[in-house]
Amino acid sequence: MKIKRLDNAITQILAATLLLLMALAILSTVYMYVLSYPLPNSVPYVDIVGSLDESNITLLHRGGESLDLDTELVLDIGNTTDITTVGNLLDSESKNDGFWNIGEALVYQVGDVTGLKVGAFISHMESESLIFQVWLQPTFSDTIEYYIEIGKEGNMVIIPGTLNVIIVYTDKDNDGWVQTIELEPDGGIAAILDTLEFDPNFCNNPNLIHVSGSTYAICYRAQGSDGTLKTVQIAANGSINDTIQDSLVFDSNNCFDPDIIHISGNVYAITYTQDEEDGFIKTIEILPDGDITTVQDTLEFDEIEGKFSTICHISGDIYAILYEGDDSDGFLSTVEIAANGNITDPVIDTFEFDSNIGKGPDMVHVSGDIYAIAYEGQGQQGYLKTVEIEENGFINNTVIETTMFDASKGNNPELIHVSGSIFAIVYSGNGDMGRLITVEIASDGSIVDPTVDAWEFTAYCKNPHIIRVTNNYYVISYRGIGNKGFLTTAHIANNGDIY
């Protein structure tokens, strides 16, 4: 029995030893297999400072690791990209040891870059990583005074197929002017082309729309607070006909802050504030040659208060009106306007999107039934909200999401869609500084990023207005320092970067 127990013990020891040897063999195989692959290269740490003077880009190595002479450098200057290496720009004495070291500088002769974006980027080839990037001149912009004395309440459109801007505004004597300005493809502003004083007596809050061909319509508050509509002829080259095509007083009682939109065919709708601050909408027929017929239909969309209204197409015959309602709260109403100009009474639905303050609201379509509203809220702070408006005009009476895009001041904000989920807001910020920011809003109405990028384009700005010129090219009109009228151009990339 004792011999049997000994045999069993030896057998168990041999089995355990065999299993251990097998495990070691497998481990060795895996170890050799892993070691056969090269380890990833680490990304070097560097501290580099870039600067731009009148004719040179200078990159100073201020700290961190030394870089090989074949390290790749990319320079973006306007629409030109130059790819070179550290060794090509380092002076002969500095590169004797084969490295770009602390205290040594790269110098790239760039010449005149006025009005051009200038950026520098350094890549580490071994780790396939970008180790340095900077926009030394993050601008695509130019600025011009479109009126050298007073240029208030500018509103713009682009002449289709051109880079010529039409702007309407009020001068220091409250006269109404229309002017054409030529833009350049690189963001520059070339020249003022033509000017016409369309109302030598009084003009307030002019709003402009393209009708057809060379015909444009201007609605505004004229002398005696009359709501007035005029048509003018402006050629593609910016030349303005000196004769007003037609004129109509569409409201002889009162008209403040009119906003005009195309409905269908020859029919247009104007929202505005009448006497006692009630909100009104009227439809009017404007023929392609500029002849204006009588008012088609009228609806009082808010009998208490309807200030600073703006109108937006929803779907089919459904339109949304955004405005300051009772106690300057933020309101949204939907109406039905037929193709022939008939307005269904009463309004379809109304939603108070801010029960505290909702000043100067503006709205843009996001996706499907989702819309975004930017406005000045309580404490002058800038707010962004998303809401749902169904195709039939019914409003979901719950705000989807709210964010504060400026905690200091967000006066007179205006929204515009850039690309995909990226939107831009131009407004007068803290200290009346002109600000342009980009935000990201998902298709479900959630606000992904309330500030993708930001640009302070002027030290003083009132009543900014932004339109798209072509692709990622935009122009902003505003009342600037000395109450003069200004235009500034900007580039907004599809990802929201501003330069």
Q: How far apart are CA 342 and CA 183, in angstroms?
A: 40
* pLDDT higher than 80, residue 87: yes
Section 173-194 average pLDDT: 92
Tokens describing residue 2: 């004792």
* pLDDT higher than 70, residue 40: no
Residue 473 pLDDT level (bands cut at 50, 70, 90): very high
**What is the sign of the dihedral through the CA atoms of 351, 353, 355 and 357?**
negative
pLDDT tens-digit series, residues 385-438: 999 999 999 999 999 999 999 999 999 999 999 999 999 999 999 999 999 999
Section 263-275 average pLDDT: 96
Q: What is the mean pLDDT of the chain?
A: 89
Which helix H or strand E contains 72, and what residues bound it? strand 72-77
315 pairs with which residues across the strands? 318
- What does the pLDDT read at residue 2? 42
- What does the pLDDT read at residue 149? 60
80 pairs with which residues across the strands? 77
Percent of the chain with pLDDT over 70: 89
Q: How far apart are CA 7 and CA 118, in angstroms?
A: 84
Per domain, the residue ranges of the chain are 46-137
Tokens describing residue 438: 């980009």
- What does the pLDDT read at residue 81? 82
Sheet architecture: strand order including 143-147:
143-147, 485-491, 473-479, 462-470
Query: At which residue do the structure tokens 């190595």 appear?
Result: 61
Closest CA to 120 of 39, 50, 53, 61: 50
Q: Out of 8-22, 107-121, 194-208, which region has the weakest mean confidence (pLDDT)?
A: 8-22
- What does the pLDDT read at residue 111? 82
Residue 27 pLDDT level (bands cut at 50, 70, 90): low
- Domain 46-137 belongs to what topology? Immunoglobulin-like (2.60.40)
* pLDDT higher than 70, residue 36: no
* pLDDT higher than 50, residue 39: no
Closest CA to 284 of 305, 261, 257, 314: 261
pLDDT tens-digit series, residues 150-181: 667 789 999 999 999 999 999 889 999 999 99
288 pairs with which residues across the strands? none
Residue 60 pLDDT level (bands cut at 50, 70, 90): very high
Backbone torsions φ then ψ of 235, nearest 5 degrees: -75, 165
Which helix H or strand E contains 385, and what residues bound it? strand 382-388
Residue 203 pLDDT level (bands cut at 50, 70, 90): very high
The CA-atom distances, in angstroms, between 260 and each of 206, 281, 476, 489 are 10, 10, 19, 24
* pLDDT higher than 90, residue 185: no
Section 115-136 average pLDDT: 80
Section 92-118 average pLDDT: 87
What is the chain's alpha carbon radius of gyration, rounded to the nearest angstrom?
A: 32
Section 62-77 average pLDDT: 90
Residue 19 pLDDT level (bands cut at 50, 70, 90): low
Query: At which residue do the structure tokens 């303050």 appear?
Result: 357
Closest CA to 426 of 474, 469, 387, 371: 474
The two beta strands, 318-324 and 349-354, are: unpaired
Instruction: Check: CB of residue 292 under 8 Å from CB of residue 247.
Output: yes
Q: What share of the chain is helix, strand, coil (3-state, %, to 5)?
A: 10, 55, 30
- What does the pLDDT read at residue 132? 86
Instruction: Check: CB of residue 348 under 8 Å from CB of residue 301.
Output: no
